[in-house]
Amino acid sequence: MREVAIVAAGMTRFGELWDASLRDLFVEAAQQALTAAGADHLDAIYTGNMSAGQFVGQEHLGPLMADHLGMAGVPSVRVESACASGGVALRTAFLEVGSGASDLVLAAGVEKMTDGADVTEVLASASDQETEVYHGATFPGLYAMIARAHMQAHGTTEEDMAWVSVKNHRHGALNEHAQFPREVTVEQVLSSALVSEPLRLLNCSPVSDGAAAVLLCPLDQATQYTDRPVVIRGAAMATDSLALAGRRDISFLDAVALAGARAYEMAGIGPEQVDVAEVHDCFSISEICCIEALGLAAPGEGRSCARTGETALGGRLPVNTSGGLKSKGHPVGATGVAQAVELFEQLSGAGGARQVPGAEFGLAQNMGGTGASSVVHILQAV
């Protein structure tokens, strides 16, 4: 495998972007990346997208996106793994460049969620239709069951979970791309409306429109496009039972742990060497479970990390400096790529007010469904 670098990144603001369509969002993010790199061609395009078919009635995104980017003719395909679609698109692009098949590949992610579809029902289709949705399951409901299992196993409290939202909103308040760039208090989280007990509205990531894109090439060609490339050292994926009922332990995300272990091995580092991480906080309990599965916190100790400030900017290991899915927003297919955009900025020293000083290794963890698929990337500053 060749060494692969990210040489440029772009993303739209995340939010309810009523004047932008699915294709508009993709083009805005992709153009930013191409312009930053001064690139006038592409060898391939991979676009992560969960459900344009259900959200806006549009399938066959590969040629649509290539055409609207002025790149008709280029091989272009949509990649789907529910909310992990973006991360899997990035890994697919990484494999294509690493293999030597292509030299310049765009990994993008896009979702248009606010055009009127029943978002609760569309998102639920990432869980098991026959055994979960049939009985009235929703996504917050499934994560609420994970939360209660975690509370049962480790004594996690609603206040522990609230602190994750508080921390991520503090980070997001510094991010101009964030959907909700403002702080919230523990009291506001704990008094927000119940969605599915014990999860409340401010434990949940929002419904968002948005797109993100990164440009990949072999490391030895990176200086053609930038003087601050970031290397992809690890790119791994894993899967688990789609239904919660089939899991080994409902309070632990096996697919996240497996993808993490594979990525660490590939990168030749351990969790203690990670300087900054973006993890999939679709619900506040998810961040707690993910940092435990990734070894960034010991099992059962993830619950206190946000409250103590360990995972806040300035702490031992800042997690979700972008604001995470909670504050930045969660246009599902774009999220995995947007995590890579944040790490690209952090590791190239362009993190601005959110910069983690001297960050060398960054980890991005993206997952689909209730953690049935997960992809982990480890990036290194050059």
CB 280 within 8 A of CB 290: yes
Q: Does 146 bind other proteins (CB under 8 A)?
A: yes
Secondary structure class of 259 (helix, strand, coil)? helix
Interface residue with other proteins among 1, 72, 101, 194 (CB under 8 A) is 194
In the set 150, 280, 330, 377, the catalytic residue is 330
CB of 348 to other proteins, least distance (A): 40
330 catalytic, yes or no?
yes
Longest dimension (CA), the chain: 55
Interface residue with other proteins among 47, 85, 179, 196 (CB under 8 A) is 196
CB of 203 to other proteins, least distance (A): 12
CB 35 within 8 A of CB 252: no
Q: Which residues pair with 299 in a beta bridge?
A: none
Q: Does 47 bind other proteins (CB under 8 A)?
A: no
Who's near 42: CB < 8 A, 6+ residues apart? Answer: 34, 71, 74, 104, 105, 106
Interface residue with other proteins among 121, 159, 187, 220 (CB under 8 A) is 121
Interface residue with other proteins among 71, 162, 195, 376 (CB under 8 A) is 195
Q: Does 144 bind other proteins (CB under 8 A)?
A: yes
83 catalytic, yes or no?
yes
Q: Does 255 bind other proteins (CB under 8 A)?
A: no
CB 376 within 8 A of CB 365: yes
Q: Does 191 bind other proteins (CB under 8 A)?
A: no
Over the range 246-278, which residues count as b (16 or more CB within 10 Å of their CB) and which as e?
Answer: ebeebbbbbbbbbbbbbbbebbebebeebbbbb
Stretch that binds other proteins, among 178-186, 189-197, 207-215, 311-319 (CB under 8 A): 189-197
Q: Does 130 bind other proteins (CB under 8 A)?
A: yes
Rg of the chain taking only CA atoms, in angstroms: 19
Who's near 304: CB < 8 A, 6+ residues apart? Answer: 160, 310
Stretch that binds other proteins, among 37-45, 84-92, 133-141, 269-277 (CB under 8 A): 133-141
Under the rule (CB under 8 A), what is the footprint of other proteins? 118, 120-121, 124, 129-138, 140-141, 144-149, 152, 193-199, 241, 243-246, 250
Active site residues: 83, 330
